[in-house]
Amino acid sequence: GYRSRAAFKLMEIDDRDRLFRPGLTVVDLGAAPGGWCQVAAERMKGQGRIVGLDLLEVAPIDGVDFIQGDFTEEAILRQLEAALAGRPVDLVICDMAPNITGIDAADQAKSYYLAELALDFAATWLQPKGVFLVKVFQGAGFEAYMKAMRARFRSVAARKPKASRERSREVYLLGREVIEAA
């Protein structure tokens, strides 16, 4: 079985948008407990490279390499870059979410901070035709983030899978084709 409800959301998005193919190099940010990595490994049929990163430990999955650490830390980012060994990345998927403090504005700000770092990473490491999928929350910061996505990707679309509860503010943004920095 899948380790997370999130796995079903990703499968729904992939059924429509065809993110995974055998042979791709994929980075999964905020990978624990491993549901998205399971979907990636399955749909890539064991061909390609999947690197998952999380603060938490993830139980092993065939065909997936894990890095445990904080994505906001320079040293962990270097570790991720080393794992990629200069290989251009085809797909970055990000489901990172901060520990909820119960203070909504603070959670929202933290969540966008992580999403912004993920966007920077994706725009830097993706090959020109690369794809970036990121979960964000509607509310404060959404419009600014959309704008930042549009500045970095030629096409940006929003996806709300059925498996995502109606009242949940989460929405997945899908960027395609990196715009070269001037």
CB of 54 to ligand SAM, least distance (A): 4
Instruction: Name the residue nearer to ligand SAM (CB basis): 117 or 146.
Output: 117
The span from the CA of 164 to the CA of 43, in Å, is 21
Q: Rounded to whole angstroms, what are the CA distances from 157 to 9, 65, 106?
A: 16, 29, 26
65 is in an annotated binding site: no
125 is in an annotated binding site: no
Instruction: Name the residue nearer to ligand SAM (CB basis): 55 or 84.
Output: 55
At 24, which helix (H) or strand (E)?
strand 24-29
Q: Rounded to whole angstroms, what are the CA distances from 104 to 109, 135, 166?
A: 9, 17, 19
Instruction: Name the residue nearer to ligand SAM (CB basis): 97 or 146.
Output: 97
CB of 35 to ligand SAM, least distance (A): 3
Instruction: Kindly give the residue spans of alpha helices, DSSP state H, lying in the chain.
Output: 6-17, 35-43, 74-84, 104-125, 142-152
Interacting residues toward ligand SAM by CB under 6 A? 3-4, 6-7, 30-36, 53-56, 70-72, 95-98, 114
Give which of 115, 79, 84, 95 is closest to 31, Cα–Cα.
Answer: 95
Structure tokens at 11: 């499968």
Instruction: Name the residue nearer to ligand SAM (CB basis): 13 or 178.
Output: 13
Quick check: is 147 catalytic?
no
62 is in an annotated binding site: no
CB of 70 to ligand SAM, least distance (A): 5
Single out the catalytic residue among 135, 147, 160, 162: 135
Q: Which residue numbers belong to the known binding site? A: 34, 36, 54, 70, 95
Q: Which residue numbers belong to the known binding site for S-adenosyl-L-methionine? A: 34, 36, 54, 70, 95
